[in-house]
């Protein structure tokens, strides 16, 4: 019989989402060292910074606003609130982390792979705490919950479309590196974030006095 994990307390969500925000923001900063792109609303915001006179943090926050309606009506109010917290943290941290860390030299391949991994792990933490980076991430989770379409696979498809479209703005080598980063990010999510991955089950366990006891184990 399936049961749900105990719900996280609000302060537990905030702490986890803060850690996730640091990881995602640092990943975005690594991408930024070589002007690499990412997918989703973050990628849209990065492209937008080259089209309008507005920084990434503000654009990223604004692009996500319309998607909160989907989250509020189709997912849950708590998910919407947690997502708002995540988006706000990443918007602020991405702009401020540059004042705390100065990266003078980094290999583009390492920046691509490490950046994708950091963003991917950050997103996994957000998903575990009923949150996301908003935008297309909200749509991906809705499709996974409703139609059993893996969030990572959907994200990879959408990110590929965004990155291919960016060929009209950015050089070919930057787009190729960005695609590698998107594959790293979404492959990590597709492998680790599956329907039922975070459920728990009750199974009988025999004791010495032959009385049945129950233990909770995580699904594999």
What was the pLDDT predicted at 109? 92
What was the pLDDT predicted at 113? 92
Tens-place pLDDT, residues 132-145: 777 777 887 778 77
What was the pLDDT predicted at 214? 39
What was the pLDDT predicted at 117? 92
Q: What is the mean pLDDT of the chain?
A: 76
Tens-place pLDDT, residues 112-160: 999 999 998 998 888 888 787 777 778 877 787 777 877 667 777 877 7
Answer whether 94's CB lies under 8 Å from 27's CB.
Answer: no
What is the rounded average pLDDT of the residues 76-105?
84
Structure tokens at 132: 């996301």
What was the pLDDT predicted at 114? 92
What is the rounded average pLDDT of the residues 48-55?
81
The pLDDT > 70 percentage for the chain reads 83
What is the rounded average pLDDT of the residues 51-63?
82
**Selected residue with higher pLDDT from 162 and 3:** 162
Q: Is the dihedral of CA 48, 53, 59, 63 positive or negative?
A: negative
What DSSP letter does each residue of 42-89 carry, written as one string?
HHHHHHHHTTSS--HHHHHHHHHGGGHHHIIIII-HHHHHHHHHHHHH
What was the pLDDT predicted at 152? 65
What was the pLDDT predicted at 179? 81
What was the pLDDT predicted at 194? 60
Residue 26 predicted with pLDDT over 80:
yes
Domain-by-domain residue ranges, the chain?
10-197
The pLDDT > 90 percentage for the chain reads 8
């Amino acid at each position: 019989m399936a049961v749900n994990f105990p719900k996280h307390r609000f302060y537990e969500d905030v702490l986890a989402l803060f850690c996730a925000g640091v990881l995602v923001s640092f990943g975005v900063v690594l991408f930024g060292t070589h002007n690499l792109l990412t997918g989703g609303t973050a990628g849209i915001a990065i492209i937008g910074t080259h089209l309008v006179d507005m920084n990434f943090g503000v654009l990223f926050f604004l692009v996500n606003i319309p998607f909160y309606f989907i989250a509020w009506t189709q997912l849950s109010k708590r998910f919407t609130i947690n997502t708002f917290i995540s988006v706000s943290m990443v918007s602020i941290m991405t702009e401020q982390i540059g004042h705390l860390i100065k990266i003078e030299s980094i290999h583009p391949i390492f920046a691509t792979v490490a950046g994708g991994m950091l963003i991917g792990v950050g997103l996994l933490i957000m998903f575990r705490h009923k949150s996301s980076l908003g935008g297309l991430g909200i749509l991906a989770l809705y499709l996974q919950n409703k139609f059993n379409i893996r969030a990572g696979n959907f994200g990879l498809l959408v990110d590929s479309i965004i990155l291919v479209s960016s060929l009209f703005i950015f050089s070919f080598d930057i787009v190729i590196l960005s695609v590698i980063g998107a594959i790293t990010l979404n492959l990590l999510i597709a492998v680790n974030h599956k329907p039922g991955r975070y459920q728990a089950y009750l199974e009988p366990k025999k004791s010495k006095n032959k009385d049945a006891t129950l233990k909770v184990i995580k699904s594999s």
